[in-house]
Amino acid sequence: FAGYISQALKNYTDHACDGEYVSLRCPHRTTISIQSSFYGRIVPSHQMCPSRYPHSYATLIKEDVACSVGTSLQKMLDECQDRRSCQFLVNSRLFGTDPCPGTGKYLIVWYKCRPNEYKSKVACEDDKLRLSCKKSMVIAIYSAIFGRTQGGSLECPYQNLGMPMIECQSATALQLMIKRCHGKRSCSIYASTYEFGDPCYPGIQKHLNVIYTCDNTPLLLPVDETQPPALTSSMEPVGVSTEMALLSNILAAYAFIT
């Protein structure tokens, strides 16, 4: 066991077919943080979760491969968010109305393990952000956002200069913060487009928001150093089969088109 921080930095993926149990679990001193979720079917059953009906009966039913529910994420938040572990039986009744009766469905969940104790720091655009830990402890970056979020930032209030309030975030903020600060006792970086690029339209004010912990255990580089937005191709499953990784990318494309 390489230390709970190195485990918490990963993106986890779990899945279950209808009639199976899905089980999410996080290491000690962390809790589940749901990133995104999908329930339905967008690939044929011969690729994932084969039909439980006899083949002769299954051929009479046209399988729906454009089937999903909009309540999947909220249900996962209700069942698992901020818990150490959760387990439940997957079926259409759990999510409300069945979007495609007669078609076998499956649940896929993307989640992280959030440390119970963490710190958050914000720097407005062009200001310097400084992180530091006490002696014998080092920085472990959990998340980083550079850009503009819908909720904005109390530390960096949005000044309306005629620009629309559009959410925009750098895709490389987390990787850069890990490279610059992860495993060090202290570090600093400017919240600037020079460092992170400009993910927004010109003129939109941005800020850098970093969540981190100080840990005194030996740290390994995280397996997954991808930014965790909701359901994008960066949310590839960790430690799963090639078929699951392919499905993750298919889901990402489907969600983007939707």
pLDDT tens for residues 172-216?
A: 898 899 999 988 999 999 999 999 999 988 878 889 999 888 877
Q: Tell me: the pLDDT tens digits for 111-137?
A: 988 877 788 899 999 999 999 998 888
Residue 142 has pLDDT above 60, yes or no: yes
Residue scoring higher pLDDT (230 or 67): 67
In the chain, domain spans: 2-115, 119-215
Distance between CA atoms of residues 78 and 137, nearest Å: 35
Closest to 109 in 3D by CA, of 128, 126, 87: 87
Residue 235 has pLDDT above 50, yes or no: no
**What's the CATH number of domain 119-215, 3.40.190.10, 1.10.1060.10, 3.30.43.10, 2.60.120.740?**
2.60.120.740
Distance between CA atoms of residues 67 and 104, nearest Å: 10
Q: What does the pLDDT read at residue 225?
A: 38
Superfamily of domain 2-115: Rhamnose-binding lectin domain (RBL) (2.60.120.740)
- The answer to whether the 2-115 and 119-215 domains have the same CATH topology is yes
Q: Tell me: the pLDDT tens digits for 87-115?
A: 999 998 888 888 888 888 999 999 988 87
Q: What does the pLDDT read at residue 160?
A: 58
Residue scoring higher pLDDT (139 or 230): 139
Run of H or E including 74: helix 72-80
Q: What does the pLDDT read at residue 22?
A: 92
Q: What does the pLDDT read at residue 213?
A: 85
The proportion of the chain whose per-residue pLDDT surpasses 90, expressed as a percent, equals 29
CB within 8 Å of 79: residues ≥ 6 apart: 86, 88
Ranges of beta strands (E only) in 61-172 are: 67-68, 85-89, 106-115, 119-124, 128-132, 138-148, 168-169
